[in-house]
């Protein structure tokens, strides 16, 4: 009988050092930093766990995951009534989503005497998913040196630490399923891999952009490819079907309403009235076509195409208000940097530009994040924009950083694109692509 854990590569001492340093950094920020997005998710979860409001719809799977966890840790949290203060008569009204109510709700929450314990516990499941991601990446390495490099890149990545432990976002859950998908595909379990990607899609929709590259890079025959696309969409379809059957609510409607959809279309050329050329969809479809006509398949090709797609997304779409989006490309970049060390340096270059780009969020992405330590003081800290607006136009400074970030991202995409093995076929339906 096979025992996969037996073949698990052991951590070297240097990897243990990286592990301890990364864990310390995470633990040091977990109880002291938070953004209202964390509470927004847990507010929906508390309605499920304590008020039996079994709602479906947008982000339903995530809310149930958080709700189940919240129910489990209830004895360790402060009394429910003191933590989840209902400011409005309608208990389903989320105080962490809105304008005036949200400020009061948020201030009440961070001023709670046991806020540190609460924040630590609410973020604890993210730590488990994060660790699972790091271990899977370690196992994805083809040798010990590569495994160590991938583990280090992931575990010490400041973008990840900021998005998950300072900002308190749940991105790492979807990232875990995306990495699991890569791992399973490497182990030649294509269908399970696509199902894992499907779970990532059901949790965070961005993963749907990766689906064509995953399917076309692992399957050569069209019959298998169509089967793969269906498998990849099964979890999301199941969530919608359950919602429709039980409460007549379809998650897809929530998705259509989101203003976030327009972020993808933010860069465009206006050809004429009612006739626009959207840049991200344009380059994305070009990349899909390139993938279709290329007969090379395999994990490397999958990683390269998927990474390029996400780099193009960040280079052309509006993401400044949501720094957690920038974690999406990290798993793929982790694998790609092992093959191309230039990407590591370029990624390091991206980080300061991203920091300036994140100033677009004003105080909410600056001092407010550490408000639990001393609410009065951190709520008074000016945002970086307020600090330098006397000397230069903040809009210009942020836009310049954004432009530089786009330039670096496009250059990274080019470097990865250059490494893609290309064997073009006249007909993309060719069967002998293997």
Q: Rule CB under 8 A: choose which of 89, 90, 270, 376 binds other proteins.
A: 376
Least CB distance from residue 278 to other proteins, whole Å? 25
**191: closest CA among 169, 214, 210?**
214
Taking CB under 8 A as the rule, does residue 320 contact other proteins? no
x/- map, 101-140, other proteins, by CB under 8 A = ------------xxxxx--x--------------------
* Integer angstrom CA distances of residue 372 from 2, 23, 97, 162, 378: 49, 21, 19, 16, 8
Q: Which stretch binds other proteins (CB under 8 A): 20-28, 43-51, 54-62, 290-298?
A: 20-28
Q: Rule CB under 8 A: choose which of 162, 394, 397, 406 binds other proteins.
A: 394
Whole-number Å distance between alpha carbons of 378 and 382: 9
DSSP annotation string for 333-364: HHHHHHH-THHHHHHHHHHHHHHHHGGGGGGG
End-to-end CA distance of the chain: 30
Taking CB under 8 A as the rule, does residue 292 contact other proteins? no
User: Based on CB atoms, which residue is closest to other proteins, 122 or 215?
Assistant: 122
Q: Rule CB under 8 A: choose which of 257, 261, 339, 395 binds other proteins.
A: 395
Q: Which stretch binds other proteins (CB under 8 A): 17-25, 85-93, 177-185, 259-267?
A: 17-25
Q: Rule CB under 8 A: choose which of 13, 75, 256, 275 binds other proteins.
A: 13
User: Based on CB atoms, which residue is closest to other proteins, 98 or 254?
Assistant: 98
Taking CB under 8 A as the rule, does residue 389 contact other proteins? yes
Q: How many residues of this chain bind other proteins (CB under 8 A)?
A: 34
Taking CB under 8 A as the rule, does residue 393 contact other proteins? yes
Least CB distance from residue 392 to other proteins, whole Å? 10
Q: Which stretch binds other proteins (CB under 8 A): 34-42, 176-184, 256-264, 370-378?
A: 370-378
Under 8 Å CB-to-CB from 259, ≥6 apart: which residues? none
* Integer angstrom CA distances of residue 365 from 94, 173, 314, 355: 20, 22, 19, 10
Coil/strand/helix, residue 42: helix
Work out the angle between the directed axes of helices 299-316 and 394-419 (0-180°, nearest 10). 160
User: Based on CB atoms, which residue is closest to other proteins, 31 or 141?
Assistant: 31
User: Based on CB atoms, which residue is closest to other proteins, 236 or 370?
Assistant: 370
Question: What is the greatest pairwise CA distance in the chain?
Answer: 69
CA dihedral 345, 155, 210, 182 (to 10 degrees): 120
Q: Rule CB under 8 A: choose which of 8, 9, 28, 226 binds other proteins.
A: 28
Taking CB under 8 A as the rule, does residue 373 contact other proteins? yes
Under 8 Å CB-to-CB from 389, ≥6 apart: which residues? none
Whole-number Å distance between alpha carbons of 210 and 221: 19
Q: In Å, how far from its chain's centre is CA 243?
A: 24
Q: In Å, how far from its chain's centre is CA 99?
A: 25
Q: Rule CB under 8 A: choose which of 293, 379, 388, 417 binds other proteins.
A: 379
Interface residues with other proteins (CB under 8 A) are: 13-14, 16-17, 20-21, 23-24, 27-28, 31, 99-100, 113-117, 120, 363, 373-377, 379-382, 386, 389, 393-395
């Amino acid at each position: 009988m096979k025992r996969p854990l037996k073949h698990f590569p052991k951590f070297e001492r240097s990897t243990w050092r990286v592990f301890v340093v990364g864990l310390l950094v995470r633990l040091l920020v977990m109880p002291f930093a938070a953004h209202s997005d964390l509470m927004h998710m847990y507010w929906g979860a508390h309605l499920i766990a304590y008020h039996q409001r079994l709602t479906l719809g947008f982000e339903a799977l995530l809310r149930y995951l958080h709700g189940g966890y919240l129910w489990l840790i209830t004895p360790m949290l402060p009394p429910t009534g003191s933590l989840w203060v209902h400011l409005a008569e309608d208990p389903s009204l989320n105080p962490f989503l809105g304008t005036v109510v949200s400020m009061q709700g948020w201030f009440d929450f961070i001023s709670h005497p046991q806020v540190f314990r609460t924040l630590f516990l609410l973020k604890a499941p993210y730590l488990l998913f994060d660790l699972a991601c790091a271990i899977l990446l370690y196992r994805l390495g083809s040798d010990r040196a590569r495994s160590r490099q991938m583990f280090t890149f992931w575990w010490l990545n400041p973008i990840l630490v900021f998005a998950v432990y300072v900002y308190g976002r749940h991105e790492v859950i979807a990232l875990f399923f995306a990495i699991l998908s890569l791992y399973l595909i490497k182990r030649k379990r294509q269908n399970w891999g696509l199902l894992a990607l499907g779970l990532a899609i059901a949790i965070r929709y961005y993963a749907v952009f990766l689906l064509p590259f995953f399917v076309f890079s692992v399957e050569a025959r069209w019959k298998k490819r169509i089967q793969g696309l269906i498998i990849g969409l099964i979890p999301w379809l199941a969530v919608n079907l359950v919602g429709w059957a039980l409460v007549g609510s379809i998650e897809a409607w929530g998705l259509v309403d989101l203003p976030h959809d327009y972020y993808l279309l933010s860069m465009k050329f206006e050809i004429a009235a009612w006739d626009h050329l959207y840049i991200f969809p344009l380059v994305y479809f070009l990349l899909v076509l390139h993938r279709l006509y290329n007969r090379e398949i395999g994990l490397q090709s999958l990683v390269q195409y998927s990474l390029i797609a996400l780099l193009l997304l960040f280079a052309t779409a509006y993401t400044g208000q949501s720094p957690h989006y920038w974690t999406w490309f990290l798993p793929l970049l982790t694998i790609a940097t092992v093959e191309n060390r230039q990407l590591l340096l370029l990624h390091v270059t991206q980080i300061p530009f991203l920091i300036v780009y994140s100033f677009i969020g004003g105080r909410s992405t600056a001092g407010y994040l550490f408000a639990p330590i001393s609410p009065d003081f951190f709520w008074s800290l000016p945002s970086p924009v307020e600090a330098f607006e006397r000397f230069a136009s903040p809009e210009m400074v942020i836009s310049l950083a954004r432009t530089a970030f786009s330039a670096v991202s496009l250059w990274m995409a080019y470097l990865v694109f250059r490494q893609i093995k290309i064997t073009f076929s006249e007909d993309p339906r060719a069967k002998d692509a293997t």
